[in-house]
Chain A
């Protein structure tokens, strides 16, 4: 069976819904099959790790074990999920003692539906964990993406914002300090990409936004201010937490800067979809907090 398994994670079912919608729409347009991982659970994120390392590892391992039964590469679009799953696979490989405890418990308590009914769940390290940027650039290819572009986003200046966790501490598919995969995809979509946006991999504040918003707003303000100063019309992102923080806290951030401003924060998949002529609704654009119409005026059929 060709295609990929797909691990949405909790955010893509909630605040990150437009990411899921646009990812699935773009995948369909490129004829890539994505099957949602059956009965997946939360990856544990950063919060669980702060409370209990063993339990956090166990939680993530259950997902990896379900994926192992299928065997195809697993796509995790959320940066935090991608890192947690990748790091967990690394921990299990480096620490055989930990691996045997967790895997033993999995086999004893968890099942997976089989032809003849439920079978015990077992983990093996065979499934690569992939980010959509990696898959689109390295499997599908920038040329294939470019070939699917029907309405290039000419004149749209985009600041590519990768966030932290897909380049740190691991950076298996892109440059740690100056990642370019999103740049290349957005160029294929016809955008003017601000390749020298210096805060490409700075932190957005992550979950701090929920807990200590005052602190997070400073970070967001810096990211927005610099992108606008460089002439960005849109900031493109690849992570639901980055998207939410940059978008939802904009008014506070601009207030802190003593300026007026609005800038749409779009998933790179939404921009790719637009360039491929997909509808706003299919890409979840109507769910934006910041009105996207001004920057997209005159483009796409249902604008």
Chain B
């Protein structure tokens, strides 16, 4: 083992963190114990080390007492390692002559016994003091950033983020799985609480996206693979065949009229199966791009061959239809990625007690959005599956939300959209409307006022979760809703013509695959996890990958747009710097010891190691400092900055000295 660099002069700082640490750890005793450790020339405790005076203390002591190493015992390095390294650097010594000890998350917050917590703090500080003696001067790595950005998902979040970036002069790739951008918002009728028409406010933005010179839309496309790292992501995009050449189609829609199918036979996805479409179709009138699409499952050309090919005939010299299209791939390079992959509505048939799929009178909220919409399957009139107009309607909240049998979380938007649907249904049918809620959650600007408005309109509010939905005897077509009216303390049975299930928001079914592709994390509900719930709400643990909209958690349109703007701003801040600094904790090969056995090559999760002239070479830019190769190398030929053997062994010895 090497000797330490002489006997460096070490300063130790113990933070109280107000009472966060000081109430469980005897900071004065810890300070005194540290003072007696070999090499420590100075030990202090201070109320808030991260404050300006706290940092000044470090800088002052370096100058005054000639400190050569600094140890700060405070919170998690995730929060303040940067801060203290900065202070150490400004004090005039290399910023990596510093070691941080976490006596808050690892100690005071997880223990009650003061004596034991104090002893643990002593152990951890002893370990850091022994380790820091071996620290070497290091410089952060600098890598250039590609100025282009990819936005994945073309709903309102992706649209807004893409436009923000494009308006700032950045080149954006907008990747959307469906044939048109627009997402869920395009399906909505009105938006709460202002009752703006969703299409009226969304479609202008969709048109802007289409016309923007800085945005390249990739519809019917999915991200297949992501490699590289922040500033230099290589993204492989898979394009599914549309069987229509986008550049050639002018959106005249004559082919749809000409199709040999006189009427549609396939459930229309956009109308959730409440209407039928032809094999050649446009998803909805305002679709962007304004290009038709052919469904190979439905089109007879793909099964038996179509003799007439009337669509090709009518398209004539435009020649936009191409039955030979196949899956193609593109690889693009971007500096940052914004994920805006949205949500899926809870599948109501998973709760059979509510009768969805079994009882004709039962609808999901999203279906009702289409029913009330003027461009929907019934042109906006409320006509039930049996052809009748409802005179009584029950709306049931929390379907697939606030229920540990499905999703424990509150989906946040259902109370408000239920109120909106109650208003719209009341307006259109004048039916008696019953809302069954557990708690009415209206915490937004203008939300409570909207609730009051709907109450004034005469909607009945029953505080109780519906326990049973069953068909009324005698073939009336009505169903009976049974619930406890908890405010009145009695069980009620209410026959209604129509039931609306306020289904919650769930992660997309392939969120887990997307998570893996982009190397980010999911929380317990399956939504993508932000880097910090308060202070880094649109960042992820992967640098350069940002989140926007409901893929991060259920949220309404205003919050989604705000978050999309924030994600775009974060991406801009990143790429506008032109380069980024990375931790210097990379691994490196001691060439004379390397036998070229290739063990490390296969182990490296980042493909950062290659063999050049029979020796392993680590690409410093690709290395993430995970240490796998260091541990795997049979000849001990790989070392890692900040994790040198003696640093680790000294740290272990420091802790074990106690035992």
Contacts and interface: CB of A to CB of B under 8 A. Distances in A.
A177 B470 contact: no
Interface string A199-216: 100000000000000000
B612 interface: no
A198 B352 contact: no
Q: Give chain A's interface secondary structure class.
A: loop
Contact of B470 (A176, A198, A225, A229): A198
B360 to A, nearest CB: 11
Interface in B439-477: 470-471, 473-474
A196 B469 CA distance: 12
Contacts, number: 15
Nearest to A230: B473
A175 B352 CA distance: 9
Contact of A178 (B358, B471, B473, B474): B358
A230 B472 CA distance: 10
Q: Give chain B's interface secondary structure class.
A: mixed
A53 interface: no
Contact of B474 (A175, A196, A199, A229): A229
B349 to A, nearest CB: 11
B83 interface: no
A177 B352 contact: yes
B352 A226 contact: no
Nearest to A226: B473
B519 interface: no
Given A177-B352, A178-B358, A198 B474 contact: no
B362 to A, nearest CB: 13
B352 A196 contact: no
A196 B353 contact: no
Interface in A221-261: 225-226, 229-230
Interface string B426-447: 0000000000000000000000
B353 A177 contact: yes
Contacts of B471: 196, 198
A196 B358 CA distance: 9
B483 to A, nearest CB: 15
Interface in B323-373: 352-353, 358
Most chain A C-beta atoms within 10 Å of own C-beta, residue among B358, B470, B471, B473: B473
Contacts of B474: 229
A91 to B, nearest CB: 22
Nearest to B469: A198
A175 B358 CA distance: 14
Contacts of A175: 352
Contacts of A177: 352-353
15 contacts: A175-B352, A176-B352, A177-B352, A177-B353, A178-B352, A178-B358, A196-B471, A198-B470, A198-B471, A199-B470, A225-B473, A226-B473, A229-B473, A229-B474, A230-B473
Interface of A: 175-178, 196, 198-199, 225-226, 229-230
Query: Would you list the 6 A-B pairs with minimal beta carbon distance, nearest first?
Result: A198-B470, A229-B473, A177-B352, A226-B473, A177-B353, A229-B474
Given A178-B358, A198-B471, A226-B473, 6 more contacts: A175-B352, A177-B352, A196-B471, A225-B473, A229-B473, A230-B473
